[in-house]
Structure 1
Amino acid sequence: MILDSLQGFVPFALYFSLGYLLTVTFLFIYSKVTPHCEWTLVKAGNTTAAIGFAGTLIGFVLPIASAAINAVSLLDFVVWAVIAGVMQLVTFFMVRLYMPALSEKIEQGKLSAGLFLGAASLATGILNAACMTY
């Protein structure tokens, strides 16, 4: 019975490892694309940056979790993860259109900027995940 349960371990390990790698890669790319460095700000104790970055992280992971559930292959999983990442970048730039000084406000610790960015990123991720149920 235990051996039957463990038959799914290899696919689990592949999807989980790939998902983790995709997440770290996305966060690296995201922090390079934004005018402010989330990693530096979060390490320095900037709560505003942490809230915005956390929303982006969750907003990316939700759809890749959905993609993992629905993927027919690892390549399919990667394609939908890339789409999820692109949508998060689009969200950042859309929020920045609405709030042109977004990066400056995050750097200054203006909580409203981080909360709005985090919520927009999370909302994008929820919608993205729902649309990936194919």
Structure 2
Amino acid sequence: MESIANYLGGVPAFLSYFGIGIGLVLVFCLVYVRLTPHAEFALIKDNKPAAAIAFGGALIGFALPLHAAISHAVSLYDCVLWGAVALVVQLFAFFAVRALIPDLPGRIARDERAAGIFAAAVSITVGLLNAASMSY
């Protein structure tokens, strides 16, 4: 019986970090869709795979360092700060790809999948490097 109480003792911390994680993902989504010139959700609703691939890659690219931030955080505040760093780095990744690929938003809107796949690959790669850098 005592071991069950020990496990349940961790539930508040789990709920705190999980809630912060979900909150940061929602903030990332809101910021990302506002800063990108193409309407991700409208394009996905219109069955445009390039938009889903690019946005999905950005989400994964953000979730990877967020995982590291949660895993290595010494406090909830620390977790939020490193989550914010992950968000900023992921936005830089989008703007870097946009600088490399002329008319990236237009190409994604026209469902040019190569552009979406490349944007996703860069987002995930940057996310992996970002996560590895957070393993302090």
Q: Which amino acid aligns with 1:117?
A: A
Aligned partner of 2:26 in structure 1 is: 24
TM-superposition CA deviations, 1:82-122 (whole Å, max 9, x none): 11010111001100110121000000000000000000000
Q: CA RMSD in A?
A: 0.6
Q: Which segments of 5 or more consecutive residues in structure 2 lack a partner in the other structure?
A: none
Cα distance in 2 for partners of 1:93, 1:5 equals: 44
- The answer on 1:45 being equivalent to 2:47 is yes
TM-superposition CA deviations, 1:52-96 (whole Å, max 9, x none): 000000000110110001001111101111110101110011001
Q: Which amino acid aligns with 1:100?
A: P
Cα distance in 2 for partners of 1:39, 1:75 equals: 31
- The answer on 1:106 being equivalent to 2:108 is yes
Cα distance in 2 for partners of 1:3, 1:101 equals: 56
Aligned partner of 1:7 in structure 2 is: 9
Cα distance in 2 for partners of 1:35, 1:80 equals: 26
What percentage of residue pairs aligned between the two structures are identical? 43
Aligned residues: 134
Aligned partner of 1:95 in structure 2 is: 97
Q: Which amino acid aligns with 2:31?
A: I
Aligned partner of 2:36 in structure 1 is: 34
User: Which SS does the other structure have where 1:13 is aligned?
Assistant: helix
Cα distance in 2 for partners of 1:79, 1:100 equals: 33
The TM-score normalised by the length of structure 1 is 0.98
TM-aligned CA deviation for residue 11 of structure 1: 0.4
User: Which SS does the other structure have where 1:100 is aligned?
Assistant: coil
TM-aligned CA deviation for residue 3 of structure 1: 1.1
